[in-house]
Amino acid sequence: MTATLDRTVRAKTVAVDVPIRPARKSTPAPHIATAGLQLSTKAAALVLRTARVSGPVFRDDTAAATGLSISTVNRQVSALLKAGVIRERADLTPPGAVGRPRVPFEINTAGFLTVGIHIGYKSTSITTHDLMHRVVGAIAIPTPKEGTPDEVVASIGASARRFADRWVGKRLLWAGVAIGGRVVEGGAVDHPRLGWSGVRVGEIIAETVGLPVSVASHVEAMAAAELVVNNPTDQNQNFLYFYARETAGIAFSVDGTIHTPAAGPPTIGHFPTGATKLLDPSRTGRLEETVSDSGVLEAAAAAGLDVTSIDELRAAARTGSSVAHDILVERAEVLGRTVALISDIFNPDHVILGGQAFTDYPEALPAVSKALRATSVVTQRDVRVARSAITVQQKAAGAVALDAIYADPLEALSHTA
């Protein structure tokens, strides 16, 4: 994936009532990166990706896999070894081999971490990730509701810094923020659901965490995580990523790039749902009010169910409540119809369904499939559930945190402490 390094953050005072750890004086001023969310074609990135996907790997095999010359591979391997992001495995050298090119190398998962932050409407997840995009540690905190938007973001950043500091002896390279709404140049965010407009998310997180920061729309980041995990070497196929939980959104990947329209991510919350029986008791006719967790709980209350969370509703459905089950099945049907209609417009090679609306009640997945087949004009569309499942928000934040490193590792490392 590629990223463009935009600018150095100017220090500003943020008034919050939580302790904020300033960046050490010896560290360079943090940068804000515009997340490119694509498979990079830079030589260092290609070598690093080969180590991540196929390592331990030999240099000649890397040249064959990337199309780079062996001399270019040797130069990039030497530079990445010096930077420490890959390491040699002399213990795996074939018997009788002569010379360093027969010493395989792999990603160094021991010395480095990135920090991922997914800011949701109700909950925020904070994670640490190694250079393989694996979650090393994770916590969840309620998204603060009190204070100005700047204070809310600063509070989240302070929590992220405290959490990251638990990993003593690890070098923190980068922070990534995945968030709903529209992300503009410089990491500012418009988030209508939270009531935010032009909030300096990237700048404030850089100040409080003390690291370079990338910011991206969360659905695009989820699609990027699928690109990193499922399709790191094949840039020829495209897919539509459809997300649903408290919000609903889509992202589209083509030729190894997550497409970001100039006007921001596509908005589908207003998409018409058609007639419903149990869902949408207020009869808004709009997708997000109908299938969001909040909307589903509103439907449960209107049906007389005594539940206060989506987890309680699922538990009721699994312990014999036919009304709870019917609500969740109707949600699946509405989602299936919507996925079919949007997929028919884009006509992707694959459709990936992400978010807990799909993954946390698998009993309703047959209803998604049935509604999709009944609505779509394509009879054999390839539809799959996201591999990340319950960790989709964490994986999305990790994809943003690693974006600059995967895009141009040597350039990115020049901006870290």
Per DSSP bridges, beta strands 105-107 and 135-142 are unpaired
Residue ranges of the chain with per-residue pLDDT less than 50: 1-27
- CA quadruple 214, 219, 222, 224: dihedral, nearest 10: -60
Task: Please tell me the predicted confidence (pLDDT) of residue 9.
Answer: 40
Task: Please tell me the predicted confidence (pLDDT) of residue 264.
Answer: 73
d(CA 278, CA 276): 6
Task: Please tell me the predicted confidence (pLDDT) of residue 14.
Answer: 40
Query: Each residue of 322-338: pLDDT tens digit?
Result: 999 999 999 999 999 99
Helix (H) or strand (E) holding 396: helix 392-407
Q: In a 10 Å sphere around its CB, with 0-12 CB exposed, 13-18 middle and 19+ buried, how is residue 320 labelled? A: exposed
Task: Please tell me the predicted confidence (pLDDT) of residue 102.
Answer: 78
Would you say 149 and 198 are in contact if contact means Cβ atoms under 8 Å apart? no
Task: Please tell me the predicted confidence (pLDDT) of residue 97.
Answer: 58
Task: Please tell me the predicted confidence (pLDDT) of residue 13.
Answer: 37
Say what percent of the chain tops pLDDT 90: 73
Whole-model pTM: value is: 0.86
Query: Each residue of 117-140: pLDDT tens digit?
Result: 999 988 999 999 999 999 999 999
349 Cβ neighbours under 8 A, 6+ residues apart: 237, 238, 239, 382
Residue 366: half-sphere exposure toward Cβ, Cα within 13 Å: 2
Task: Please tell me the predicted confidence (pLDDT) of residue 260.
Answer: 77
Task: Please tell me the predicted confidence (pLDDT) of residue 387.
Answer: 74
Task: Please tell me the predicted confidence (pLDDT) of residue 6.
Answer: 43
Q: State both tokens at 107.
A: 């990603």
Task: Please tell me the predicted confidence (pLDDT) of residue 16.
Answer: 41
DSSP letter for 347, please.
Answer: -
What domains can you pick out in the chain, each with its CATH number? 1-235+394-417 (3.30.420.40), 236-392 (3.30.420.40)
Task: Please tell me the predicted confidence (pLDDT) of residue 29.
Answer: 56
Q: Which of 46, 63, 382 is nearest to 237 (CA)?
A: 382
Q: Which of 400, 393, 391 is nearest to 114 (CA)?
A: 400
- Bin 324: left if φ > 0, else alpha if -120 < ψ < 50, else beta: alpha
d(CA 39, CA 2): 6
d(CA 251, CA 288): 16
